[in-house]
Amino acid sequence: MKKLAVVAFGGNALLRGDQAGTIEEQEQNALDTCERLLTLINRDYNVVLTHGNGPQVGNILLANAAGNQVYNLPEMPLDICVAYSQGFIGYILEQQMRNVLRAHDLDRDVITIITQVLVDRDDPAFDNPIKPIGPYYTKEFADKMTAENGSIFREDPRGRGWRKVVASPKPLVISNQRSIERIARDGQIVIAVGGGGIPAFYVAENKLQGIDAVIDKDLASALLGGNINADKLFILTDIPKVCINYNTPQEKAIDRMSVRQAKQYLAEGHFAEGSMAPKIRAAIHFVKHTSRDAIITSAGLLGVDNGGTRISIV
């Protein structure tokens, strides 16, 4: 039986901070990422691909606001904007993955599943927004936006500017996960849990409703990976290995760490919120619930032996 991998990559992998955000740029970035997935496919992995949406959903919100101000169009809530982003990012990924498969004479279906994820409306995350979305701003512009509409901004840990932050509740239940697993184990490529999933809750018994939030895609991917009994979780970022004392003279790349060591580094504050911390928490969740390894690395090292940082049970 083939192994099953969940591969999670950020919205920044499709829309980079130094790019304008054109569809052509995002298509090329998606093509590059899909090419790298062949490493796993050629090593007999079936693949579920998940993705972030931080830059894209922020831009959708900006377009919403502009449409409201200029044309008096009704603004859409954040959960609908997440659904928008799932659809168009899934379309781009699916199309580019098909192009890659054709170029390498591989025959697989590529299926995008719009995914709702259940959250708790009383999650304390709603009182402490930490999830960055949208573009980077100067502090002056961020302060202006806060004064105008009450938006909350936080400085990027790498000093790239200030970004809007929104609530990021814990994912509890992922819809359609049995179908996701069945289709993937049949050998098809599944794109799911985009942007961490569309956040929803039960506003009444048997009545689902969306809620303003963006779920962390790494934690949602870890939850999905555990529930579908994945053999490995890959969390892709823009650095090859996890580092402690990041961006200091004492910076040190980590090849391997146990769950206990990862928890210790978290407690010591080595990993920034909105950056590496949620990736470490996601890896811990997956490893604890499956006793299988999670790997945090860059897309270029996907599937490479000893590439990235491996988090294991011991």
Determine whether 286 is exposed, middle or buried from the number of CB atoms within 10 Å of its CB (0-12, 13-18, 19+): buried
Could you give the maximum distance between any two Cα atoms of the chain, in Å? 58
Whether the pLDDT of residue 13 is over 80: the answer is no
At residue 275, the pLDDT reads 87
Structural domain including 96 reads: 3-312
At residue 112, the pLDDT reads 98
Contact 156, 181 (CB under 8 A): no
Mean pLDDT, rounded, for 192-209: 97
pLDDT band at 299 (very low <50, low <70, confident <90, very high): confident
pLDDT, tens digit (0-9, with 9 covering 90-100), for 40-84: 999 999 999 999 999 899 999 999 989 999 999 999 999 999 999
Which active-site residues does the annotation give?
Answer: 11-12, 131, 217, 279
What is residue 193's DSSP assignment?
A: S
pLDDT, tens digit (0-9, with 9 covering 90-100), for 65-77: 899 999 999 999 9
pTM to 2 decimal places: 0.93
- CA–CA distance, 187 with 47 (Å, rounded to integer): 8
Average pLDDT, whole number, for the chain? 94
At residue 68, the pLDDT reads 92
At residue 305, the pLDDT reads 84
Number of domains in the chain: 1
At residue 32, the pLDDT reads 92
At residue 223, the pLDDT reads 98
**What percent of the chain stands above pLDDT 90?**
83
Token pair for residue 192? 């799911």
Token pair for residue 308? 């990235």
Token pair for residue 125? 């995350």
**What percent of the chain stands above pLDDT 70?**
100
Q: Which residues contact 275 (CB under 8 A, 6 or more apart)?
A: 157, 158
pLDDT band at 247 (very low <50, low <70, confident <90, very high): confident
pLDDT band at 274 (very low <50, low <70, confident <90, very high): confident
pLDDT, tens digit (0-9, with 9 covering 90-100), for 114-159: 999 999 999 999 999 999 998 889 999 999 999 988 999 999 988 8
Looking at residue 207, which CATH number applies to its domain?
A: 3.40.1160.10
At residue 18, the pLDDT reads 79
